Chain A
Amino acid sequence: MTDKDAVTEAELRAIVSHLDPVPPRLDAAARGAFTWRTVDAELAELMRDSADAEEEAGALVRGGRGPRQLSFESPRLGIELEIVATGPRSRRLEGQLLPPATALVTVERPGEDGLSVQADELGRFVLDGLRAGAVRLHVVLRGAQIAIPWTTI
């Protein structure tokens, strides 16, 4: 490390802190994330994300083909999820519970009330008109609660 480098780095740090600081509301949001700490639900695990698969295949092209698909698994339930971009910042979630079962599916997001739908007898559900951002799905199945990890949709 040379002195010259340290000086250049300090100059650049000053510029960046001026031009691209962390937005204050994002500091507040990060602090507020802590209120989501207590979870009674069993947490499903992400098994596959088509966005990652594309990366592994070396297809680092902006604009994948088709909707993003995710698979989650917990001991008692599998959840297949498709995220459809219906607009620049609006999304639709199409889900499938495996094995198929009717269940109450709630989409949770910071600073908002949950939005619930009922999965039909084939285990399918649709949540439309969602804003892009961080969400968590919460499934109540025969009294058990299963959550999928926070996901950016």
Chain B
Amino acid sequence: MRTSHPQLVWVNRERLVRSRDMSEVAALVGAAAAGDQAAWNGLVDRYNGLVWSVARSHRLSAADASDVVQTTWLRLVEHLGRLQNPERVGAWLATTARRESLRALRHSGRQVLTEELPETATDTHLGAALLTAERDQALWQAFGGLSERCQMLLRILVSDPPPSYDEIASALEMPIGSIGPTRGRCLERLRGLAEGEGVTATDRRELE
């Protein structure tokens, strides 16, 4: 490609890396479908953080989230040989985990009436007490003040290893094109809240 625009070059390199990634993933799926446990473990290493983050972003308790994660992987075992786009197995897992999380939410709701609300990662006061750095505490407190949508997006975005936008879009059932802009807005808001403990007059008006 004949361009000297640095950003374009960077984008193309990203795409190249991404497409190589995707064919590696498809190869892992193919090998796992043929019975290769090591390939399967490779998929788990790559995507369990994403699957867990999807369940947790729905504010499921650790126990309910664990059930969702387990069901999601068992479903993939069932579907290994039948995936239409093996290179998009991450998006498939994210979609499956989202559906299972929503079912679990509605389903386990029956017992919530008599129980304490489940402890979640977004119990920000509890979380903040475990964090030592002042900056981290402020950020985590601020995270709890974000809209539910922002919390979900960011929780999934920061799963380890970092998911692709395609995977995030599947996890949230959101158009892929709106992930980038929403990410930007949510992170800006997060910084604003974290740094605004002192709160300027403008911030206060905005918050109210």
Contacts and interface: CB of A to CB of B under 8 A. Distances in A.
B106 A64 contact: yes
A30 B187 contact: no
B40 A34 contact: yes
Given A8-B187, A34-B40, A134-B71, A51 B143 contact: no
B158 to A, nearest CB: 4
A18 B154 CA distance: 15
Interface string A16-47: 11111011001101110110110100010000
A150 B71 contact: yes
B-side binding surface: helix, strand, loop or mixed? helix
A64 B109 CA distance: 7
B88 interface: no
Nearest to B135: A11
Chain A interface size, as a band, is 35 or more
B184 A2 contact: yes
Contacts of A51: 102-103, 106-107
A71 to B, nearest CB: 14
A76 interface: no
Given A55-B102, A55-B106, A110-B74, A12 B139 contact: yes
